[in-house]
Amino acid sequence: LDNTVSLVVSADKNLVVEGPPDGVAQILMNLVINARDAMPGGGTIFVEARHALPIELPRAMSTEDRRKSYACLSVMDTGMGI
């Protein structure tokens, strides 16, 4: 039984995320651990950090806030899911 878990990380260049470093690290760690636990037989975890596209922003966001730039952080895995 191969229970190897691979980690693939992709990030946009010049991406800056503002926030408490410990908080961002804790969120990322929790997501990666959950992904790992969802693959008892092994698999791959993909972590991506990129600039968010305007279409991905909430519609209720003000015009002024839409002018700012935002990041999109995603964690995916090859586990079976719920």
CA distances from 79 to 26, 45, 61 (A): 21, 9, 34
- The pLDDT tens digits for 13-53 are 999 888 898 998 999 999 999 999 999 899 999 999 999 99
* Choice between 9 and 18, residue whose per-residue pLDDT is larger: 9
- Output b/e per residue, 46-80; b: 16+ Cβ within 10 A: ebeeeeeeeeeeeeeeeeeeeeeeebebebebbbe
CA distance linking residue 59 with residue 7, whole number of Å: 33
**pLDDT confidence of residue 18:** 85
**pLDDT confidence of residue 17:** 84
For the chain, what is the mean pLDDT?
Answer: 90
pTM, 2 dp: 0.81
**pLDDT confidence of residue 1:** 58
Residue 37 carries which side chain, given as an amino acid letter?
A: D
